[in-house]
Amino acid sequence: MKAKIISLIFISIIILTTLTGCTFLDNNSVSSDISNKPDSDKDGVHDEIDDFPNDPAASVDSDDDGYPDRWNPEKTKKDSTSSPPLELDDFPNDPDEWKDSDGDRVGDNSDTFPENPYEWSDTDEDGYGDNSDINPYVDLSFEIILEKFMVTSRVDILKWAQVYFDIIIDGESFKKIDNNGKRWNVMLKKVKEIQHETIFYDIPDDTKKPYTIIEIVMYDYDIFGSNDIIDINKENSKTTLIIQIDNKENIMDGTGFIEGSKGKLWYDIILSEETKSSDENINRIYKWFFSNNHWKLSMSIPSDTYENYANANIDRSPQDQPFPNEAMAAYVTSNEKVIIDFATELKNLADNKKFNIITTANFILRFVQVNVQYTLDNESQGCIEYWKFPVETLVDKNGDCEDSAILYASIMDALGYDVVLLFYKLEDKNSGHLAVGIHLEGEHGVYVEDDGIKYFYCETTTSQFNIGQLPPEIKGKPKRIIHI
């Protein structure tokens, strides 16, 4: 019976590996002797790697903001000995955020509406959240300027007219424009310049109306009877200027001039400008251990760059495409500014320690191995296969073999190293594994040869291996050697 249970467990593991299309090389078996290292809070984590060495309730603070990622086993806030007690970090990889009061996944420090789970930003600063604002990028308003007019034919028996204007917004009279409380007395076919204060109208911030309608009526005052409308619109059944503003798009249909059977009007309507959203950055902190030193790198990644890659219209299973080599190589983005910035920072760190070429390559390999937490695609993306671009991996800080391999290849290619992608088909014939090959002078362990050039094997999923060290799960030659 026990044999059957063990067999079922083994089969389940194979099925899971097959579904993900990528093999994880586990380094949990690697151990180190920490018995002689100090552990001030007696939590089982020695002080050197304990972010809270004097508090037994927690040990890990990935973003160094003073709030722990999680509680230690069987510990809670009640066990915290700090004053005040530690509180868990809702954003363990973001040093600028730690609390999300309304549960909308936007930290309170950057949430304009920290107590409203349905709103978090107000781009146009009109007091209404972007999600409910009919136009989140514009504080809707407009200005009206009447520049000049002309009466072209008689409105009544007189050869002149006494002119004033009425501005109507959405069916309600808003403002009269006249000659300082009087009318403009004008002869026929004479252009009259108008001087008046600019008329400003603030469209209600909470409007749900898709349009705002402006009507401008040109009148001839009549002392003995009702005032006459001067026709300034050639369209049938219309005598007034009517302008429609699209609140959603912040556009209008006016031209600045209108002419009817009795008069002409020159005008200008100025819409409020779109509020340009600031270049928000995604801040990340990366930590790793190499050459007996703890390393930390803080970087900012433009959020729009990340969104562009995350929303890219591209097949996320390139190995299944008609031209798989080209499709897979397309994910290596060594010319991307973010990747160049990372490569430069990592190279500077290595140069400061006077690392040689091979040590630098291993140093950056360890950066990738430690900071990209191995995560199956069906766990992180909800699908069987999902190849990420390097910027996505740097932000998400997780991925499977192809994601970490592509990130390492991109960084090393940006630094001028000759690298290739190594695609292996594993023995079960239904799963694959992606690694990196790097060309280095001399002998550095296991390599594959292509056109007489040696590319030394680089495993990116676990820190158990340096360059040239081949995991036992990888057997035989790669199915594909993919040049960048």
pTM above 0.75, yes or no: no
Are 301 and 394 spatial neighbours (Cβ–Cβ below 8 Å)?
yes
> Where are any strands of DSSP class E within 12-152?
141-151
**Strand duo 172-177 + 141-151: pairing:** unpaired
Per the structure block, which two tokens stand in for 100? 């999300």
Q: What's the N-to-C CA distance of the chain in angstroms?
A: 51
Interior CA angle at 336 toward 334 and 340, to 5°?
70
Q: Give the per-residue pLDDT at 224.
A: 77
Are 434 and 478 spatial neighbours (Cβ–Cβ below 8 Å)?
no
Are 378 and 19 spatial neighbours (Cβ–Cβ below 8 Å)?
yes
- Is residue 3 within a helix (H) or strand (E), and if so which, with residue range? helix 2-20
Q: Give the per-residue pLDDT at 428.
A: 59
**Strand duo 373-374 + 398-399: pairing:** parallel
Q: Give the per-residue pLDDT at 18.
A: 39
Indicate if the alpha-carbon torsion angle 465, 466, 469, 470 is positive or negative: positive
- Taking alpha carbons only, the member of 374, 450, 396, 415 closest to residue 25 is 374
Q: Give the per-residue pLDDT at 275.
A: 66
Q: Is 87 exposed, middle or buried, given 0-12, 13-18 or 19+ CB atoms closer than 10 A?
A: middle
Q: Give the per-residue pLDDT at 135.
A: 86
Rounded Cα–Cα distance for residues 267 and 244 (Å):
15
Q: Give the per-residue pLDDT at 273.
A: 83
CATH of domain 281-483: 3.10.620
CATH of 141-271, one of 3.30.1490.190, 2.60.40.150, 3.90.1150.10, 1.20.1050.10: 2.60.40.150
Span(s) in the chain for CATH 2.60.40.150? 141-271
Name, in order, each residue with C-beta under 8 angstroms of 336's C-beta and a sequence gap of 6 or more: 305, 390, 391, 410
Residue with tokens 């903001």: 65
Rounded Cα–Cα distance for residues 142 and 271 (Å):
4
Per the structure block, which two tokens stand in for 427? 């023995």
Interior CA angle at 69 toward 64 and 74, to 5°?
135
Span(s) in the chain for CATH 3.10.620? 281-483
Provide DSSP, 124-153.
Answer: T-SSS-TTT-SSTT---EEEEEEEEEEE-S
Task: Split the chain (484 residues) into runs of 10 and give each run's mean pLDDT.
Answer: 40 38 45 66 92 95 91 95 94 86 87 91 84 87 95 88 96 95 94 92 91 97 88 90 93 91 95 69 87 88 90 83 86 93 96 96 96 78 81 92 96 97 77 92 94 96 93 89 93
Q: Give the per-residue pLDDT at 304.
A: 87
